[in-house]
Every structure is written in C-alpha cells, then in structure tokens.
Structure 1
Amino acid sequence: LKASSFSAPITAINQPRRGSSITVYTSEYADSTQTEEIGKEIILIKGKIVGIQEMNASIPPDGVVVSAGGNYTKLFEQLKLGETIDINYSVAPPWNTIRQAVCGGPRLIENGNISINHAEEKFNPALVSARHPRTAIGLSFDGDLIMIVVDGRSKHSAGMTLKELALYLQKMRIRHAINLDGGGSSTMVVKGRIVNAPSDGSERKISNGLLILKP
C-alpha cells in the first residue's frame, strides 16, 4: 500500500483485523468490516479516499476499505479525504503456477508431528478446543492422499477437537495434514451418495469442495 507520505505492507485480505495490521476488505467479505476495536479505516473508490472512520466502516460495492489497527493506526492518521492510495500486489513463484486452490487451516500435522498453530495462522481458539464436525486432508509417509470427515453435533458423534483429530491422523501415520472447513459443511459423497451424517441434516450450500474423479 502506498500513500503520498508512506508505504506499508498489507497484512491480510478479507479477514478479521487483529492487532497491529493492515487489512483490505472487499464487498465479498460483508456489508462492513465488522471491526470491534478502534483503529483507522479508509474507504476507497477508484483509489481515492472518500471516507475515514475508526471502526466497522461500510464497504462500497465499487471500492474497498483499508483498515489499520495497533501501531498502524497512527500512520493512517496522516491520510486525508480526497487523497489517492495505490494498492499493489503480485503472486510470487511457485504460487503463480497454481491452477486451482482451496483454503484451509490450521495445519494439523507437519512431518509426522502435531503442529497446530492457530494463533499464528489467525484462527479463533474456540475452533481448536471445541468438538465439532471436521474435514481434513493429508498425505501419508507412503505418498497416499487421505481425506477424512468426522461427524459431530449429534447423538451418535460429538465431533473432535483439532488436537483429537491430529492425534487420530498421527496414529494413521500421516506425514502432513491440514484442517478444512468443518461444522455443517463437513460432507463426504461417494458415487453420488452422502456417506456421513451432516450436522445440518442435509447438504449445506457451499461453493467449493475437493473432488476425486475417474479420468
């Protein structure tokens, strides 16, 4: 991010703002930034500052909001209405060769060891410690891909904490594993048939998934 008086790195895009950070919000995130702590937020349309607020700024459909927290708040106090801001980004190798990707987290297993760093990866602690339906993907020491779904929030299954899930995967001799979207989204379909018991009672309307298809 570049202003007339300073340049600063963007910390995150469309994530809850935490601590000293600069987060960019687009209209795909929500109607507003939903920030709960005072900071400094600038509303940009076509690169020009059209509004300045301390928190929970509305996100314009044809623009973005840049939200500064912690040490960056004072830096943003220099900015004025009408000022032009440049936001530049690039995708460095090897990521620029990726054709398809899906987000997930936090990491569960690294080189056979449990490695759950939810704070570093900016995940809510409740996601880690509470039992929920879970979805995870991993790679075994033999190079086999594994996908696992754990039912939860029901009489027949309470679900798993992330540590319980990681321990289970470790016993399966999984080398690397990552947690994926869980809760009511956790669904496994084999040959067109749901083979688990989604906690919502039916499939949730979600926009992505992992598919294994016959060539």
Structure 2
Amino acid sequence: MRNTIITETHQNKEIQRFQVVEAFAWKNLQFASPGFDAGAIREIARLYRLNIVEKDPSAYGRLVFFHVPENIDLPFSSRSKDMWFFSRNITAKVQLQRLADEGNLYQDGTWISKDTSARLFLNQLEAEHYLEMVSGKKDGITFIPIDGKVGFPSSLDSPLVVNSHFFLMDPTDLDSPFCELGTPHGLALKDGVVLNPPLNHRPCLLVDTKGTCHTTQVELTDLVVEIDSVQYRHERNAIFYFRPETCITPSSSGTDIVITGNSVVAVKQGGNTRVPMAGFVLSLREDIAVQETSVRYLGLEAYQFGIQVGPPMMRESSMVDSLCCPFFDPLVAATPFPPTVYPLPFSTARAARIALGTNREGEPVLVWAEGASKRNYQRGKESAGASLLELAQFCDRQHCQEIINLDGGGSSQIIYEGKRYLKIADRYEDNSEAERPVPLVLVLSTSCSQ
C-alpha cells in the first residue's frame, strides 16, 4: 500500500488535510463489523447528550439506549398481536415501549414496573452496562435499541480499516418499530454476495470480476429475494415496499415480511406495517410462516465488490458538482428516509469526509478529508473540513476516475497500519479525539499486496 498526506493552504489561512491510500487490490477489500462493544452505548449516549438533547431539552423525554446480549435472558414473548419478532433487540423494544406507554415505568432513578420480570431485566441490563439513559425535559420514555454490529474500528486488526456506510443515528431515523440505532443502509457486496441490499435510489460503485470499476444505478427491485429457498420477484409473486415511496404498507389479507440487511426481523399479518428506515417489507398475498430468517439476494453475481452510500464525486473521470441523487429534504419529501439529517448544501456544508473509488490509473483509492474539531477549531492549525464539492474538486485535481462518498462526519477515519494519520472530528471536553462507534467498515485481508 501507499499512504500520502496532502495539506492545502488557502489565502484566508484555512488549511485542508487529505489522506490518500493507494496500491491495494479490490479482491483484498472486505466488509467487516467491529462487533458489539458495550462502550458503544456510553459513547452514543454522550453524543446524544451533547449534540442533540442539550440543544433542545424540551423536545425530548427520557431516551433509553440499550442492547440485549445473548447471555441475558429475554423475559418477553416474541409475539405481539399480529406480529412475530425474530430479533431480541426489537422484541425488547416493542414490549418495553408498550409497558412505558401503559403507565409509569421509571421514578427517582429507579425502574418501578409492576411487571417484575421486566423490572429485573432492566436492572440487569443497567448493572452490566448494556443500558444508559439520557434525559430531556419532556415527559415519557423512548426505548432505543443499539444494533449488535456497533463497535469501534480501532478494535480490528488489519493493515487498513475505514468506516464505510451511513447508519441510523438521529432520532428522526428511528420512526419504525423495526429500527435499531446503528443499522447500516445501502448496498454492500462482496464476491457476488449481497450483504446489504441497495436502498434510497442512490448510485452504486461496482467492480466486476476483471477489476473494472464504474458507477451505476442498482435498485432493490432489480434483485431476486430468497427466503426459505423460495425466490420472490417484485410485482410477480411479491411486492417490495421501501422508502421514500412507502412509509406504511397497505392493508392486506396476507403476510408482510420485514427485512433489514440479510435477515428477517419480523413477520406481520394484515398489512399496515411501518417500513423500516434501513430495510424494506416484502408483502405476500398468502399467509406463510418463515422458518429460516436468513435472506439471499440474487442478481449481482457478476461483481466482486459493490458499495452504495453517499453521492458520487467522480464519474467517468468527470467531476460531479451537485447533489445528483435523492437525500431526505423535509421541505419537499413527504416520507422520511435515512439519513434524515444530512448537510444538503453540496458546496458549503463542511465536515470530515471519506471517499472510495479509482485513481488516475483506474486502481483502487481511498481519500480521507480531515474535519474540523467540533470543540476547539483554530484556523490554520485545525483542518477546516471539506464540503462535498471541495471533496469532489480534490478528487478531480488527483485525476481520479470513479469516486463515491462514504460515511463522514464524526465517523470519518482511516486506520493505516495501526495508526490514524489525521484527527477525528469528534472530541472530548479536553479536545482529545473521541472515536465514534460504527457498525460497518472496510478492511484489507492480511494477504493484500504491498
């Protein structure tokens, strides 16, 4: 691999720093999850406390962040009225929220539910650091499960680690019972196997088996979805419902199968299913019982790698100078879809950025645009961050061919041979770097060429 740090200085004394990593092979680039770390709950609670709740305490009640590990027994039924749940986190969320909505559940720092098993369960989660609460001034409790993939990139042992996908993070990203904070969304494809389906009508970066890379549009409805060895095709033997077109499925006499990633998370009879932000609903006319929760996607077997996250920066060696694909805008969109909070001003909204694609030789390249400190920005000492346009302009100056923007902001980082060469934008009170937990990263296998 080859690692280069580039600093650009502007007339107003602002600086922008970029890290460029090259000379690796697509075949060695893998998707990985850091794996759940209980410390992620603490960090997410801190981010909410400082960046969301404290800005408008009157808008929030008690937000309860939690994760149910396998070693803690779940005291709830996996069935609720007309729904069956296949996720421990979602089962707990639905049942705990029901208890909270029915009456007082928490008082003076103590769980007081009349349901003894629920009270013991909450106490155990809290005692083992799988639960943390952030309190605003509004009445009420909202339970927010944390996806089991969420952990810290620095925990992974690889020559290269980089955050990849957008994931559900803001409160407005979590408007369905089937949403977990930290769930990634957008295509993730490796060696013809779809790990995460395409969503939200954004372009995908695809690499074929010969190593040719291009940016193209791939829709969920282009794929075949296989569950229990049965193959489903949109508008043939099933209907695929997803955002932004659909927020709630219509009434029906059949079965709605709720899917996120490559797993069935719930089944509901009768329709009227709230579509998950980071997934979709496969709707059938008949009643069925799901036996195996794993989901396969067929149709992209000809590609060795694929990713879909943010907007493209470069296409066919030409710079993209505007937001050319859909992102949620509450002024024009009736149905929210993630990320619901995004710096839409393409040319002015600066942040830390990550990008992936091909360099002037058509070989893989990663770019990290360092962001400004969120606590103590000093012009000329701290990087100013980059707008999407500035990132595209940098990639154009580097003569890149195909580039797509990945997840940025406080998540943005490249760990190269065990070290971060640039600084994370998230900071603690003393301005030291605060590593944000994420669910999905890209790593290089240890057999990668140097």
Return the TM-score normalized by structure 1: 0.60
Whether 1:185 and 2:380 are equivalent positions in the alignment is no
1:134-176 residue CA offsets vs partner (Å, 9 max, x unmatched): 0001212312322111121321123111111101110111111
Q: Corresponding residue for 1:170?
A: 396
- Counterparts in 2 of 1:145 and 1:84: CA distance versus 1, 3 Å: same
Q: Which residue of 2 aligns with 1:123?
A: 327
Out of 296, 318, 326, the position equivalent to 1:113 is: 318
The CA deviation at 1:41 is 4.7
Q: 8 Å contact 2:368–2:412 — kept in the other structure?
A: yes
Higher relative contact order (CA 8 A, sep 6+): 2
Aligned to 2:272: 52
SS in 1 for 2:395: helix
> 324, 349, 358: which is aligned to 1:139?
358
Deviations 1:178-197 (Å, cap 9, x if unpaired)? 10011111111121112211
SS at match of 1:168: helix
| SS of corresponding position for 2:298 | coil
* Cα contact 2:314–2:402 (8 A) shared by 1: yes
| Secondary structure in structure 2 of the residue aligned to 1:194 | coil
| Unmatched runs of 5 consecutive residues or more in structure 1 | 23-34, 68-81
Among 358, 364, 367, the alignment partner of 1:148 is: 367
CA distance in 1 between counterparts of 2:320 and 2:241 reads 23
Q: Does 1:212 align with 2:447?
A: no
Contact 1:137 1:178 in 2 (8 A): yes
- Structure 2 equivalent of residue 197 of structure 1: 423
CA–CA distance in structure 2, aligned partners of residues 117 and 91 of structure 1: 32
CA shift at 1:128, angstroms?
A: 4.9
Cα distance change of structure 1 residues 111 and 101 upon mapping to structure 2, 3 Å threshold: closer
Unaligned runs of 5+ in 2: 1-233, 258-265, 289-294, 330-342, 427-432
When residues 111 and 97 of structure 1 are mapped into structure 2, their CA distance, relative to the original with a 3 A threshold, is closer
Distance change >3 Å, CA 101–CA 110, structure 1 → 2: closer
Q: In structure 1, what residue type is equivalent to 2:442?
A: L
Q: Is the 8 A contact 1:41 1:65 kept in 2?
A: no
CA 99–3 in structure 1, closer or farther in 2 if over 3 Å, else same: closer
Conserved in 2, the CA contact under 8 Å of 1:48 and 1:85? no
The 1:49–1:160 alpha-carbon spacing in structure 2 relative to 1, beyond 3 Å, is same
1:81-108 Cα offsets, whole Å, 9 max, x none, are x95389x99532xx12446544322111
The percent identity for this pair of structures is 23
Q: Which deviates the most, 203-212 or 132-141?
A: 203-212
CA separation of 1:131 and 1:11: change in aligned 2, threshold 3 A: farther
Aligned Cα root-mean-square deviation (Å): 3.7
Measured in 2, the distance between the counterparts of 1:11 and 1:44 equals: 10
TM-score (norm 2): 0.31
C-alpha distance in 1 between matches for 2:241 and 2:249: 15
1:115: Cα distance to partner? 2.4
* SS of match in other structure, 2:301: helix
